[in-house]
Amino acid sequence: MAVRRLGIVMYGVTGRMGANQHLARSIAAIRAEGGVLLANGDRVMPDPILVGRNEDKLAQLAKAHGLSRVSSNLEACLADRNDTVFFDAATTQMRPALLAKAIAAGKHVYCEKPVATNLEAAMAIVRQAKAAGIKHGVVQDKLFLPGLRKLKQMIDSGFFGRLLAVRGEFGYWVFEGDLQPAQRPSWNYREEDGGGIILDMLCHWRYVLDNTFGSVRSVSCLGATHIPERIDEAGECYKATADDAAYATFQLAGGVIAHFNSSWATRVRRDDLLSLHVDGTHGSAVAGLQDVVCQQRMATPKPVWNPDVRQPINFYQGWQPVPDTQSFDNGFKLQWEAFIRHVAEGAPYTWDLLEGAKGVQLVECALKSWKERRWIDVPELEV
């Protein structure tokens, strides 16, 4: 068995998502396991260099994970032929320019989403990557959640019969910053800084819907800024210029209807921060991030509407948990492993920059729907 080195330029990993999910729980975890196993029995050992503006912070992060390579010189890192992959988890507004530099330097690229703040910029990167012949991928982590994977298995097995509808509830209360510090950064609530829940979350819902329930054909969306003022990290009051809630309905291929409420101004009374209720002719299921419960056709109760008496049926009964038939690893790590195999041995890989651009496309359609107060068709993207 041979162990191959894969040099990875990791940019923007001092942020919460980059440090926790991509560095600690993905790359560091893969290194601890001896690398990524290939089809021929070889292994690929990722060798990251952490890049950013604060070299001291990067050094502390590297030391915590047994790494030694850090740099504040991105151009020098991109020029180094020994590192062949570039990863970006910095801000969305910077991403197109960073990816363009990396592609021009001949790097394979892997990045967080959204890939851009607008479709024109996203498609320009797609075309540049295609012309350069490099391998590319976009993080689509929710497809790897245990709850979503169980739902996909149920759909593929025919459990639901004909799919009818999907109802998604996502969100939680993000504190305004006065009584308690906010648990999300202030830029999330400023449109001029790339904030807004429509840009942040509809990219997720695009790949979840496309890959699980049916391709998105049209969208009707209403956004809102429920909390008009918040307190930033310095304790200063600022105006929230971006949407903090979105109420979107999607028409999918096959006649399936999906509706997603996404909000940073809601208090949770459900099993998880994300809940998906799926109805079909033969059964229904409710999925969270990890767990799924289901109810078959023959186990469905027969309620009768009578507002004059207390409801005699406990609707939480009659639902059966879907068992864990396998061990589910961290979703970010699983996708990193898939991308590394794609780079190292040309293994098939679905979640490329074009898939990322589809998320940005849905964002633009949703924003247009909100502005014009009408349904917007979502056309096929052509490179």
Question: Residue 95 and residue 185: Cα distance in Å, rounded?
Answer: 18
Q: For residue 168, what pLDDT is reported?
A: 98
CB-based contact 87:339 (threshold 8 Å): no
What are the pLDDT tens digits along the chain (383 aa)?
799 999 999 999 998 899 999 999 999 999 999 999 999 999 999 999 999 999 999 999 999 999 999 999 999 999 999 999 999 999 899 999 999 999 999 999 999 999 999 999 999 999 999 999 999 999 999 999 999 999 999 999 999 999 999 999 999 999 999 999 999 999 999 999 999 999 999 999 999 999 999 999 999 999 999 999 999 999 999 999 999 999 999 999 999 999 999 999 999 999 999 999 999 999 999 999 999 999 999 999 999 999 999 999 999 999 999 999 888 999 999 999 999 999 999 999 999 999 999 999 999 999 999 999 999 999 999 88
CB-based contact 376:258 (threshold 8 Å): no
Q: For residue 144, what pLDDT is reported?
A: 95
CB-based contact 213:252 (threshold 8 Å): yes
Question: Residue 60 and residue 77: Cα distance in Å, rounded?
Answer: 19
User: Is residue 114 reached through a cis peptide bond, with omega within 30 degrees of 0 on the bond before it?
Assistant: yes
CATH class of segment(s) 144-329+361-376? alpha beta
List the domain boundaries for the chain.
3-141+331-351, 144-329+361-376
Maximum separation of any 2 CA atoms in the chain, in Å: 75
Question: Residue 277 and residue 300: Cα distance in Å, rounded?
Answer: 15
Q: For residue 275, what pLDDT is reported?
A: 98
Question: Residue 154 and residue 130: Cα distance in Å, rounded?
Answer: 35
- The count of other CB atoms within 10 Å of the CB of residue 87 is 29
**Could you identify the residue written with the tokens 């790494």?**
67
Of 263, 285, 284, the residue nearest 274 (C-alpha): 263
Question: Residue 116 and residue 123: Cα distance in Å, rounded?
Answer: 9
Residue 318 backbone class (left: φ over 0; alpha: ψ -120 to 50; beta: rest): left
Amino acid at 204: H
CB-based contact 115:125 (threshold 8 Å): yes
**Could you identify the residue written with the tokens 């041995």?**
345
Of 242, 195, 20, the residue nearest 91 (C-alpha): 195
If you write DSSP's letter for every residue of 261-319 in order, what string do you get?
EEESB----SSSSEEEEEEESSEEEEE-SS-EEEEEGGG-------TTS-----TTTT-
Question: Residue 19 and residue 316: Cα distance in Å, rounded?
Answer: 38
Q: For residue 383, what pLDDT is reported?
A: 84
Query: What CATH number labels 3-141+331-351?
Result: 3.40.50.720
Q: Residue 318: how many CA atoms within 13 Å on its side-chain side? A: 14
Q: For residue 88, what pLDDT is reported?
A: 98
